[in-house]
C-alpha cells in the first residue's frame, strides 16, 4: 500500500514538472503577443460624421520600430521613422467617402518583421435626411398573387417581376395592365430560379435572381431571353440611371454595373447621419436620386447616387395600413415605379391587392 502511495506521488510530481513548463511557456507567449509594437489609443471601432477632423492617437510600445505607417484603406496617411512614445495625427477621414473602412497601423521592425493592427472606421453622412410621407393620389388593382420583386415603367408601360414564393416555380416577368393589375404578355422562370429586381434600358429587360447568382436578359418587346450574366452574392433590387445598372444585394451596398458586361464599375455605401441603411431592396431611379424600399419596413430612402448619403426618409406606413387586414407574414411593401411620361409614381407590395399612385410630401 505504502509502495503504491509512493509511486503515485512520484507520478504526480513528475506530471506537475512536465506540465508546469508548458503552462509557463503558453502564458509567456500570450503576453508577448499582446504587446503590439504600436497601438491605437481609442478602443473599439471609430465613428466620424462627414468630413469632420478627427485626432487619431497612437502609443508606441517598442523601440524596435524602423518605420510606422498610418493607413486608411489603401492610402498611407502618415509615416514616422523610429517613432517613440505617444503620437497623434489629425485628419478628415470623410475625404475618402462615407462607409466602413479600415484604419491600420503598420509597424516595420528593425528585424524586417511587419506587424499590422487594424480597426474598423465608419464615416457617417453629414446630412440630416428630410422627413417625408406618402400622399395617395389614386388606387388601382394589383394582382394579389404577384410576389412583387421588381416594378418599373418603360415607355409608359408597367413591367413587373415576381419571386418564387413557396418554391413553386412561380417567378414571372410581364407587362401589367394598370386598369386591372393583371399581366398582359408574360413569361416565367422555372425552379430553381427565384426572381428579384428588374430594370429596362435600351430595349432590354434585366431580371435578377435572389440566390441563383444569375441575371437574365430579355428583349423588352417579346420578352424572349437573349442572354444571361453571372455575379457574386445575392440579387435584390435593380434600377438604372440611363447609363448604368444600379443593384442592391440586401446589405447597405449598391453597385453600379456596366449594362453590356454586368461588371461592377463602382460601389456606394448607404448611410444616414447615425447608421448604415441595410436591407436595401427594390429600387427606382427618379430625377437623379435612387429610391430604395427597406426590406421588412414601411420605409423608403432617397439616396444620393454619388455619395451614398441618405437625402430623404419616406414613411409609407399609410399604404401598409390600407392593405393590412388582407396581408400575411412577409407580404411587405416592395415596389416603386416612376412613369416619366406623366411624372407619376406607383407603389405596391408583395401579394398586395392594391397599387397606389403616390407623391412624396414633407412631414411637418
Q: How far is the CB of 291 from Ca ion (least distance, A)?
A: 8
Exactly one of 196, 284, 298, 331 binds Ca ion (CB under 5 A); that residue is 284
Return the number of the residue (152 or 164) whose C-beta is nearest Ca ion.
152
Return the number of the residue (236 or 271) whose C-beta is nearest Ca ion.
236
- Contact between 331 and Ca ion by CB under 5 A: the answer reads no
**C-alpha to C-alpha distance for 340 and 92, rounded to whole angstroms:** 40
Q: How far is the CB of 229 from Ca ion (least distance, A)?
A: 19
Return the number of the residue (164 or 284) whose C-beta is nearest Ca ion.
284
Q: How far is the CB of 187 from Ca ion (least distance, A)?
A: 19
Q: How far is the CB of 159 from Ca ion (least distance, A)?
A: 9
**C-alpha to C-alpha distance for 92 and 87, rounded to whole angstroms:** 17
- Contact between 252 and Ca ion by CB under 5 A: the answer reads no
- Contact between 294 and Ca ion by CB under 5 A: the answer reads no
Exactly one of 144, 152, 160, 252 binds Ca ion (CB under 5 A); that residue is 152
- Contact between 151 and Ca ion by CB under 5 A: the answer reads yes
Q: How far is the CB of 347 from Ca ion (least distance, A)?
A: 9
Q: Which stretch binds Ca ion (CB under 5 A): 19-27, 89-97, 100-108, 281-289?
A: 281-289
- Binding residues for Ca ion, per CB under 5 A? 151-152, 284
Amino acid at each position: 500500500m505504502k509502495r503504491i502511495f509512493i509511486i503515485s506521488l512520484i507520478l504526480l510530481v513528475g506530471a506537475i514538472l512536465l506540465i508546469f513548463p508548458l503552462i509557463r511557456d503558453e502564458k509567456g507567449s500570450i503576453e508577448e503577443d499582446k504587446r503590439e509594437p504600436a497601438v491605437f489609443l481609442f478602443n473599439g471601432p471609430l465613428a466620424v460624421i462627414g468630413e469632420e477632423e478627427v485626432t487619431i492617437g497612437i502609443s508606441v510600445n517598442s523601440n524596435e520600430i524602423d518605420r510606422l505607417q498610418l493607413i486608411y484603406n489603401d492610402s498611407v496617411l502618415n509615416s514616422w521613422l523610429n517613432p517613440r512614445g505617444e503620437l497623434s495625427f489629425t485628419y478628415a477621414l470623410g475625404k475618402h467617402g462615407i462607409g466602413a473602412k479600415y484604419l491600420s497601423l503598420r509597424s516595420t521592425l528593425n528585424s524586417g518583421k511587419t506587424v499590422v493592427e487594424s480597426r474598423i472606421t465608419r464615416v457617417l453622412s453629414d446630412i440630416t435626411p428630410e422627413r417625408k410621407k406618402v400622399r395617395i393620389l389614386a388606387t388601382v388593382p394589383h394582382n394579389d398573387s404577384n410576389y412583387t420583386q421588381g416594378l418599373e415603367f418603360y415607355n409608359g408601360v408597367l413591367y413587373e417581376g415576381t419571386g418564387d414564393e413557396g418554391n413553386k416555380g412561380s417567378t414571372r416577368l410581364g407587362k401589367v395592365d394598370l386598369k386591372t393589375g393583371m399581366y398582359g404578355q408574360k413569361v416565367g422562370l422555372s425552379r430553381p430560379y427565384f426572381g428579384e429586381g428588374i430594370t429596362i434600358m435600351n430595349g432590354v429587360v434585366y431580371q435578377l435572381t435572389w440566390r441563383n447568382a444569375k441575371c437574365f436578359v430579355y428583349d423588352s418587346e417579346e420578352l424572349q431571353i437573349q442572354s444571361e450574366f453571372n455575379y457574386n452574392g445575392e440579387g435584390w433590387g435593380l434600377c438604372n440611371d440611363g447609363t448604368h445598372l444600379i443593384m442592391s444585394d440586401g446589405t447597405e451596398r449598391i453597385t453600379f454595373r456596366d449594362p453590356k458586361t454586368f461588371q461592377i464599375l463602382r460601389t456606394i455605401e448607404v448611410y444616414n447621419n447615425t447608421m448604415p441603411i441595410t436591407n436595401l431592396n427594390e429600387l427606382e431611379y427618379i430625377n437623379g436620386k435612387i429610391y430604395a424600399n427597406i426590406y421588412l419596413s414601411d420605409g423608403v430612402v432617397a439616396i444620393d447616387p454619388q455619395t451614398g448619403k441618405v437625402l430623404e426618409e419616406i414613411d409609407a406606413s399609410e399604404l401598409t395600413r390600407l392593405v393590412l387586414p388582407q396581408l400575411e407574414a412577409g407580404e411587405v411593401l416592395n415596389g416603386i415605379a416612376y412613369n416619366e411620361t406623366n411624372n407619376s409614381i406607383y407603389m405596391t407590395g408583395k401579394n398586395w391587392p392594391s397599387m397606389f399612385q403616390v407623391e412624396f410630401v414633407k412631414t411637418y
